[in-house]
Structure 1
Amino acid sequence: MPDAAPPALPDSPDYPLAARTAPTLAALDAHLVECRACPRLVAWREEVARERRAAFRDEHYWGRPVPGFGDPAARVVVVGLAPAAHGANRTGRMFTGDRSGDFLFAAMHRTGFANQATSVAADDGLELRDIRVTAPVRCAPPANKPTPEERRRCAPYLARELELVGSGVRVAVALGGIGWQALLTTLAEQGWDVPRPRPRFAHGAEVTLARRSDDGTTAGPGATLTVLGCFHVSQQNTFTGRLTPDMLDDVLRRARELADA
């Protein structure tokens, strides 16, 4: 018999595909943080980590792909876009260390999903309850704009994370249009009955999906999932009032209501 093909190296375009077999969230994270499959993103995240922003010149930047964060048995998953260059790319924890995260975690605290309202560092004591935050792209992209190819290449990480969190997930909150499209694409590939044409993103959009078994019937526990749309917590939205604290709180409260139903 021919020898098995050697595993892809971290800088290979095929490296993320091996994430599909990660047996645990810890194993998935260990694989993820070694990934160097997207040369443009690797160059940018590492340049930012070397140059550093003046306010953080004395800090050591993470400068690597960023794992998801939160309750491993969450019933609600929040899907953003990608780590911020001087936020999660600096701290190593999703939405931590920038104003977008401040806005998001303050809302989670007000709605009972977080034990505190601030997120300044990976060891600051923040704990999430019944909720998890993740993203379809795990490296900080230049101008916050990953390319379609970079989003496609990174997709196995989101897919496997959703599988490992498991059938207890009842609600997925998509922050922004890219998160919405990436999430629906992943769910369709995993056997969820995503309508065609796909529902359009809007703040407050709500779509309930069913997962079907091979015989076409609804497939038991965890067979429904509601996707909620929410404007992204970027400063472009929060500073202009396009997304207010009350608007975000309403989405998170709706997520809790659906998870409890």
Structure 2
Amino acid sequence: MSVSEGPRGGTDEPGYPERAAATAPSVAGLDERVTHCRACPRLVAWREQVAREGRRAYAGWDYWARPVPGFGPDDARLLVIGLAPAAHGGNRTGRMFTGDRSGDVLYAALHRVGLASRPESTDIDDGLRLYGTRVTAPVHCAPPANRPTPGERDTCRPWLAGELRLLRPTVRAVVVLGAFGWQAALPALAAGGWSVPRPRPAFAHGAHHTLAATDGGPDLELFGCYHVSQRNTFTGRLTPAMLTDVLGRAARAAGLTAP
């Protein structure tokens, strides 16, 4: 799908994500529209600056420098929600959680649980496949200092809500990495067809909540996990065993592994 087939209005308008996500006919169509979004000027400027300046370790790389869509099958039963692409990770490779230390930790754990074909992810052509699992984020552009503003988070939220809407027939469990992702995901989950309790569930590592469906469909199992950031993994706040445990419980809840 070309961007011209999407809704009217420029891709640099703040309302573009909401219009484009609401009318996306498929996960693939939504992913295509995501890659053309320019609704957040600060993020656009940063992702393109990073691509121009690069980093010595990646000399010769042609950076993606666009919003990074979700990665994984369009009939996933498990959705993993992070924070945002890394400046020299997903912003470089064009695939969520690819090519950085956080991705190394995440995909190694997904492989241990049987949800990924290989334990590492280096670039978009490395042959990695996910089984019944999709990886996405509430913010699709790399933010300065890895910190999107609340306004950028809210502008980008329709993409996640649209992704959840399109995955509604199959998705049965969600793992949210970190408190920022948790706060951003709850409104998107409510928009996607599930009832989020009030007061909203607090983020915690290992948290597990069942969200009742609002449309008569299956409920959703929601899990919290510390983010796979270097700060958490290098200090031992999040160990490989802790991550594997949460992903394993979520996979079983989604029906991807034996109980």
TM bracket (short chain)? over 0.9
Match of 1:8 in 2: 9
- How many residues get paired? 249
Alignment correspondent of 1:161: 163
| Alignment deviations for residues 200-227 of structure 1 (CA, whole Å, 9 cap, x no partner) | 10000001010134xxxxx14xx20011
**Is the counterpart of residue 247 in structure 1 residue 242 in structure 2?**
yes
Q: Which residue of 1 aligns with 2:198?
A: 196
Note the 1:1-261 alignment, pairs <5 A. 7-18=8-19, 19-213=21-215, 219-220=216-217, 223-260=218-255
Higher mean C-alpha displacement, 189-198 vs 80-89: 189-198
Partner SS for 1:69? coil
TM-aligned CA deviation for residue 8 of structure 1 = 1.4
1:7-46 deviations in Å (ceiling 9; x for gaps): 2101111111222100012211221111111000000000
Q: 1:66, CA displacement in angstroms?
A: 0.2
Cα distance, 1:240–1:101 mapped onto 2, change above 3 Å? same
- Gaps spanning 5+ residues in structure 1: where? 1-5, 214-218
Partner of 2:3: none
> 8 Å contact 2:67–2:141 — kept in the other structure?
yes
Larger radius of gyration: 1
Q: CA RMSD in A?
A: 1.1
Q: Which residue identity lines up with residue 14 of structure 1 in the other structure?
A: G
Aligned partners of 1:111 and 1:194: how far apart in 2? 28
Separation in structure 2 between the aligned mates of residue 226 and residue 73 of structure 1, nearest angstrom: 16
Aligned identity (percent) is 62
Deviations 1:98-123 (A, max 9, x none): 01000000000010000100100000
TM-score in terms of structure 1 length: 0.93
Q: Which runs of at least 4 in structure 1 moved beyond 4 Å after TM superposition?
A: none
Which residue type is aligned with residue 231 of structure 1? Y
Distance 2:149 2:169 in 1: 30
